[in-house]
């Protein structure tokens, strides 16, 4: 499996099978899944705690750290895909709509090269 050959629907199916085989749907409410996403995001952030920008970019040169970071991003995505599946959210559509909204909020001529929030542009 790779990003080039796998659809989001296939990923959702694989996660759904994994959860159903363990009868974990009972625990995976939208509330619990949203909290799991945040908990896993915190685990990802812990790898970069106290790093400056350059140090954070160099974290991946340590093969063991790279594996651990890869596992945390996978945890976040697994819960995110499951949340979307549970909530009936089509991720492709949701991402496309949000990128369109972001493009309206952050026109290139005002936002290129700066990190101001759209309310500050």
Q: Which stretches of the chain bind Mg ion, using CB under 5 A?
A: 40, 43, 72, 75
Place of tokens 């594996």: 67
Give the single-character DSSP code of 62.
Answer: S
State which residue, 72 or 86, has the beta carbon closest to Mg ion.
72
Residues 6+ apart with CB under 8 A from 60: 66, 69
Q: At what angle do helices 63-87 and 8-21 cross, to 10 degrees?
A: 90
State which residue, 45 or 99, has the beta carbon closest to Mg ion.
45
Tell the smallest beta-carbon distance from residue 98 to Mg ion (Å): 25
Tell the smallest beta-carbon distance from residue 48 to Mg ion (Å): 14
Tell the smallest beta-carbon distance from residue 39 to Mg ion (Å): 8
Nearest-CB residue to Mg ion?
Answer: 75
Residues 6+ apart with CB under 8 A from 34: 83
State which residue, 43 or 86, has the beta carbon closest to Mg ion.
43
């Amino acid at each position: 499996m790779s990003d080039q050959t796998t659809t989001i629907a296939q990923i959702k199916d694989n996660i759904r099978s994994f959860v159903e085989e363990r009868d974990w749907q009972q625990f995976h409410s939208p509330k619990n899944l949203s909290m799991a996403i945040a908990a896993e995001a915190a685990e990802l952030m812990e790898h970069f705690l106290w790093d400056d920008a350059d140090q954070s970019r160099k974290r991946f040169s340590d093969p063991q750290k790279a594996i651990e970071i890869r596992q945390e991003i996978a945890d976040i995505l697994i819960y995110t895909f499951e949340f979307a599946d549970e909530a009936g959210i089509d991720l492709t559509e949701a991402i496309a709509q949000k990128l369109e909204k972001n493009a309206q909020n952050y026109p290139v001529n005002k936002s290129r090269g700066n990190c101001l929030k759209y309310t500050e542009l």
